[in-house]
C-alpha cells in the first residue's frame, strides 16, 4: 500500500494553527531575547563595577535580575515548551525535520540553557556576597552561555528559512544545514534586537529607582538610552544584510506587502528613536509606566508583525525548502534519504496516501464529495489560509471572493503548475481538484 508519513491534521478554525504558533512565539521572543540581552548588559555593568569600583551598580543589577527571574525566565520557560507543543501539533513534520537534522545541536543548546538558568539564580543571589572579580567571572560565563543558546537556536531557525547551501541536499550534514548564508546576518540581527531590548527593559528598572537614588537613576536611564540606541542601529543595519540573504520565494512574498512593512517600520523607528533620545537628553521624563507601555508597543508593533513576516516569507515551506507548510515533502533530499511525495500524491491523491483519512472518505463518491472536499481543503490549504467566512488568517474568503467552481479550479491548476511561488506546487488528481473546488465554491465567499 502506498502511504506517506503523515500525522493527524491539527485544525484550528478561524485563526489557523500558524497564529497559535505566532502568539506563543512572540511572547517567547520577548522573554528570551530580554534574557540574552540582559546577560550581555550584566557583563558590561559588572565589568564597570569591577574596573571603576562602582558598587552602587550592584543594587541595579540585583533589581534587574529579580525582574528577569520573575518575568523573563518564568514566561520564557513556559512559552519555550509551549512552542514545542504548538509546533508539534501544528507542524509535526516541520519539527521532525528539525530534530532529524539538529538533534545534537539542540542537546548542546539545552546544556547552555541549564547553565543559563542556574547562572541567573547564582548571579542574583551572590551579587553582594562574593568579591567583585568572582562576580565578574560569573557574569561573563553567564553571558557566554546565553549567547550560546541564541547562536545555536538561530542556526536551526535559519535552516527553516532555507539551508542556504546546495550541498546540504546531497550531504544531508548538520553543518551544511547549520551554516547557511542566512545564519550569521540573522544572528547579528537578533543580537542587535536583544541589546535594544535589554535597554528598553532596563529603562523600567532605572526609572523605578528614582526614589532610592535620583542621581543614579538618571545616569542609568541615560545609559539605557544609549544602549537601546546602539541596539536599534544594529537591528537596522543587519536587517538590510539579512534581507539580501533570503531565497527568491521570500522576496516574492515580501514584495506583496513591502510598502506597508517599510512604512510601519519607519514609523516604529521614529517613535523609538525619539523615546531613546528623550532617555538620553531628558532622563527625568522617563517614568516607569511609560517604560512599561513601550515594552508593549515593541511586543505588539515590533515583534508580532516581524515574526509574522518571517513566517510568511518562508512560504510555501516550513523547513529546509523541502517540507511544505501543509506537511508534504516537496523535493528529494538524497543526503537524508528523503523522497518527494508530490508524484505519488499526483497519481493516487491525498485521500489515498494519507493514513489518517477516515475509511469512508478514501474514495470520493457523489454522497461524500462535500465532506471529502472539505477535508482536502483543510489538508491542502488550512495551514496557510483560514477557510471560514469570518477567518482571520490569510483568509480564502478574500482571495476567492465571488469565484465559481470553474474559476476556483483554474486557480488550483495554477497552484499545481507552480504558477505562484509562495504556494505549494501541489498537483492533485482531477477528482480531488473537483471536490475541493466544489467545496470552496459552496462556501460562497
Ligand atoms: C504554504 C502556504 C500556503 C498553502 C498551503 C496555500 N497557500 Fe494560498 N497563498 C499563500 C500565500 C503566502 C499567498 C500570497 C499572500 C496572500 O495572498 O496573502 C497565497 C495566496 C493565495 C491566493 C491569492 C492568489 C494571488 O496571488 O493573488 C489564492 C486564491 C490562494 N492562495 C488559494 C489557495 C488554495 C485554494 C490553497 C489550497 C489548495 C492554498 N492557497 C494553499 C500560501 C499558501
Q: How confident is the model at residue 1 (pLDDT cuts 50, 70, 90)?
A: low
Q: What would the DSSP string read from start to end of 17-32?
A: HHHHHHHHHHHHHHHH
- Closest ligand 1 atom to Cα of 436: 38
Distance 5 CA to ligand 1 centre (A): 24
Ligand 1 and 316: CB distance under 6 A: yes
Q: Where are the domains of the chain?
A: 16-324, 341-442
Phi/psi of residue 389, each to 5°?
-65, -25
Q: How confident is the model at residue 420 (pLDDT cuts 50, 70, 90)?
A: confident
- Closest ligand 1 atom to Cα of 256: 15
Structure-block grid coordinates of residue 132:
567583585
Structure-block grid coordinates of residue 158:
535559519
CA dist 293 → 187, 299, 328 (Å): 27, 10, 42
Ligand 1 and 253: CB distance under 6 A: yes
Distance 248 CA to ligand 1 centre (A): 17
Nearest protein CA to atom 34 of ligand 1, as residue: 381
CA dist 238 → 120, 178, 287 (Å): 29, 19, 31
Beta pairing partners, 329:
323
Q: How confident is the model at residue 430 (pLDDT cuts 50, 70, 90)?
A: very high
Sequence-ordered list of residues with C-beta below 8 angstroms from that of 274, at least 6 positions apart, any chain: none
pLDDT at 419 over 90: no
Q: What would the DSSP string read from start to end of 382-435?
A: TTTS--STT--SS-HHHHSTT--HHHHHHHHHHHHTT-STTS------HHHHHH
- Closest ligand 1 atom to Cα of 326: 5
Ligand 1 and 227: CB distance under 6 A: no
Position 183 scores a pLDDT of 96
List, for residues 320-369, the tens digit of each pLDDT value.
999 999 999 999 999 999 999 999 999 999 999 999 999 999 999 999 99
List, for residues 46-97, the tens digit of each pLDDT value.
999 999 999 999 999 999 999 999 889 999 989 999 999 999 999 999 999 9
Nearest protein CA to atom 21 of ligand 1, as residue: 399
List, for residues 188-225, the tens digit of each pLDDT value.
999 999 999 999 999 999 999 999 899 999 999 999 99
Sequence-ordered list of residues with C-beta below 8 angstroms from that of 410, at least 6 positions apart, any chain: none
Asked if 303 and 315 touch (Cβ cutoff 8 Å), the reply is no
End-to-end CA distance of the chain: 38
CA 144, 146, 148, 154: dihedral to nearest 10 degrees?
A: -150
Secondary structure class of 324 (helix, strand, coil): strand
Structure-block grid coordinates of residue 17:
494553527
List, for residues 180-193, the tens digit of each pLDDT value.
999 999 999 999 99
Ligand 1 and 138: CB distance under 6 A: no
Exposure of 413 by Cβ count < 10 A (0-12 exposed, 13-18 middle, 19+ buried)?
middle
Position 62 scores a pLDDT of 94
- Closest ligand 1 atom to Cα of 400: 29
pLDDT at 386 over 90: yes
Secondary structure class of 323 (helix, strand, coil): strand
Nearest protein CA to atom 18 of ligand 1, as residue: 394
Distance 103 CA to ligand 1 centre (A): 32
Distance 382 CA to ligand 1 centre (A): 10
* DSSP at 118: H
Ligand 1 and 309: CB distance under 6 A: no
Ligand 1 and 420: CB distance under 6 A: yes
Distance (Å, rounded) from C-alpha 272 to C-alpha 277? 8
Distance 346 CA to ligand 1 centre (A): 19
Ligand 1 and 437: CB distance under 6 A: no
Distance 178 CA to ligand 1 centre (A): 29
List, for residues 245-283, the tens digit of each pLDDT value.
999 999 999 999 899 999 999 999 999 999 999 999 999
Ligand 1 and 423: CB distance under 6 A: yes
Distance (Å, rounded) from C-alpha 256 to C-alpha 262? 12
Secondary structure class of 113 (helix, strand, coil): helix
Is the Cα torsion angle 278, 283, 287, 292 positive or negative in sign?
A: positive
Specify the DSSP element, H or E, that contains 47: helix 16-51
List, for residues 149-183, the tens digit of each pLDDT value.
999 999 999 999 999 999 999 999 999 999 999 99
List, for residues 391-414, the tens digit of each pLDDT value.
999 999 999 999 999 999 999 999
Distance 421 CA to ligand 1 centre (A): 10
Specify the DSSP element, H or E, that contains 238: helix 214-244
pLDDT at 304 over 70: yes
Secondary structure class of 209 (helix, strand, coil): coil
The model's pTM is 0.93
List, for residues 2-59, the tens digit of each pLDDT value.
899 999 999 999 998 888 999 999 999 999 999 999 999 999 999 999 999 999 999 9
Distance (Å, rounded) from C-alpha 318 to C-alpha 325? 5
Sequence-ordered list of residues with C-beta below 8 angstroms from that of 80, at least 6 positions apart, any chain: 28, 32
Position 108 scores a pLDDT of 96
Q: How confident is the model at residue 445 (pLDDT cuts 50, 70, 90)?
A: confident
Ligand 1 and 178: CB distance under 6 A: no
Amino acid at each position: 500500500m502506498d502511504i506517506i508519513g503523515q500525522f493527524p491534521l491539527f485544525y484550528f478554525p478561524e485563526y489557523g494553527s500558524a497564529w497559535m504558533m505566532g502568539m506563543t512565539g512572540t511572547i517567547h521572543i520577548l522573554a528570551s531575547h530580554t534574557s540574552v540581552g540582559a546577560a550581555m548588559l550584566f557583563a558590561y555593568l559588572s565589568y564597570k563595577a569591577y574596573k571603576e569600583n562602582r558598587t552602587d551598580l550592584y543594587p541595579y543589577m540585583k533589581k534587574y535580575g529579580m525582574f528577569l527571574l520573575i518575568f523573563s525566565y518564568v514566561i520564557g520557560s513556559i512559552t519555550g515548551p509551549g512552542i514545542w507543543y504548538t509546533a508539534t501539533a501544528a507542524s509535526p513534520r516541520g519539527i521532525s525535520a528539525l530534530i532529524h537534522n539538529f538533534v545534537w545541536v539542540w542537546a548542546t543548546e539545552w546544556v547552555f540553557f541549564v547553565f543559563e538558568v542556574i547562572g541567573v539564580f547564582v548571579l542574583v543571589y551572590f551579587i553582594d556576597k562574593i568579591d567583585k572579580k568572582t562576580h565578574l567571572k560569573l557574569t561573563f560565563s553567564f553571558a557566554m552561555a546565553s549567547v550560546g543558546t541564541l547562536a545555536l537556536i538561530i542556526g536551526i531557525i535559519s535552516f527553516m528559512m532555507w539551508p542556504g547551501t546546495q550541498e546540504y541536499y546531497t550531504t544531508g550534514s548538520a553543518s551544511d544545514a547549520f551554516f547557511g548564508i542566512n545564519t550569521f546576518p540573522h544572528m547579528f540581527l537578533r543580537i542587535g534586537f536583544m541589546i535594544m531590548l535589554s535597554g528598553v527593559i532596563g529603562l523600567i528598572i532605572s526609572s523605578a529607582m528614582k526614589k532610592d537614588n535620583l542621581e543614579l537613576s538618571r545616569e542609568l536611564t541615560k545609559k539605557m538610552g544609549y544602549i537601546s540606541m546602539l541596539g536599534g542601529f544594529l537591528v537596522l543595519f543587519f536587517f538590510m544584510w539579512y534581507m539580501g540573504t533570503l531565497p527568491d520565494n521570500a522576496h516574492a512574498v515580501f514584495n506583496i506587502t513591502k510598502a506597508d512593512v517599510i512604512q510601519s517600520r519607519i514609523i516604529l523607528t521614529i517613535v523609538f528613536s525619539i523615546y531613546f533620545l528623550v532617555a538620553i537628553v531628558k532622563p527625568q521624563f522617563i517614568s516607569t509606566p511609560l517604560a512599561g507601555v513601550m515594552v508593549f508597543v515593541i511586543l505588539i508593533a515590533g515583534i508580532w508583525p516581524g515574526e509574522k513576516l518571517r513566517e510568511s516569507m518562508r512560504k510555501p515551506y516550513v523547513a529546509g525548502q523541502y517540507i511544505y507548510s501543509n506537511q508534504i515533502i516537496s523535493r528529494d533530499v538524497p543526503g537524508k534519504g528523503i523522497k518527494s511525495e508530490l508524484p505519488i500524491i499526483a497519481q493516487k491523491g491525498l485521500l489515498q496516501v494519507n493514513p489518517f483519512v477516515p475509511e469512508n472518505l478514501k474514495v470520493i463518491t457523489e454522497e461524500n464529495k462535500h465532506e471529502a472536499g472539505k477535508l482536502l481543503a483543510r489538508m491542502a490549504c488550512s495551514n496557510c489560509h483560514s477557510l471560514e467566512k469570518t477567518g482571520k488568517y490569510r483568509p480564502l474568503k478574500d482571495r476567492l471572493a465571488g469565484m465559481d467552481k470553474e474559476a476556483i479550479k483554474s486557480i488550483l491548476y495554477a497552484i499545481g503548475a507552480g504558477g505562484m511561488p509562495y504556494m505549494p506546487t501541489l498537483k492533485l488528481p482531477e477528482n480531488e481538484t473537483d471536490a475541493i473546488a466544489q467545496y470552496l465554491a459552496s462556501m460562497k465567499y
